[in-house]
Structure 1
Amino acid sequence: MKTYSIEDFIPERQPRRIYESFTFNENKSVAPHVLEVNLNDLRFALKGDIVWAFEKGERMDGTFKPGKYHHWLPLIQSGEPIEAPYLSFNRGRVSIVDGRHRLYAFIDMGYTHCNGFCRNKDGWTSEDDMISNAYLANE
């Protein structure tokens, strides 16, 4: 009879790779909250969103703009500071306000996490409230 350890049942975790060179421009329509986004969790949080395509094969002409995507690739590869994506939380759902092609580039380049601005539509009063209600909280 084989003896198992708890480690036998825990899948290996992918090493964290976070893009850290972001600018956060002042924008009055966006709550002043920054959230570290787990890009794998984002995949599940956006399930059913008609403009989101996690896999390259899902990116169609109507929702994917190659020019935008290819604009961000060299900037990210060089480590340039780029504007953080904007996310919105409303009624327990997340959506992307701005930055979908940046997020695609992070995913395709093997990043596991990135920072993002979070817009507050659910009436949260604190960052702790926002994080506890978000589907994208850190692991």
Structure 2
Amino acid sequence: MRSHGGQIAFPGGAREEGDLTPWETACRETCEEIGLDGKYLKFLGAVPIEDVFVSGFKVIPIVVEVDGAVRESDFVLNEDEVARVILLDPDTLSGSPEMKRGLYRGVEYSYPIYPLCEKMSLWGASARMFRNVDRLGFFRRFRSFE
């Protein structure tokens, strides 16, 4: 992706003509990027629109549950868009991420950082979306079913 290349992100992309809903866009993009068909995804909800200041994108984050039968070996990566898949256990990430400040075109902004693995971090818009999913209780819902 030209605007955010090299960054850790969730599957996603722009709506296309055949996409009638954000859910359809999410399913199509997930299949295109990591080869996971929408039949393995269960819609759980959406979180508030994320305004990505640097690129000007407005993202509608869709929260899904992936069928438990899916394994890492089931992913087929679109190498033009995805270098690797990182599977995250939300319990291993801090509920209170470190906050950083940035400067873009003279405007100061803040963003959370979640340390992941191998000196990689989830940060910026992806981290803000992750934090919103956590704040809205989606991760607690999963734990309550165990």
User: What TM-score does the superposition give when structure 2 sets the normalisation length?
Assistant: 0.26
User: What TM-score does the superposition give when structure 1 sets the normalisation length?
Assistant: 0.27
Higher relative contact order (CA 8 A, sep 6+): 1
Pick the structure with greater CA Rg.
1
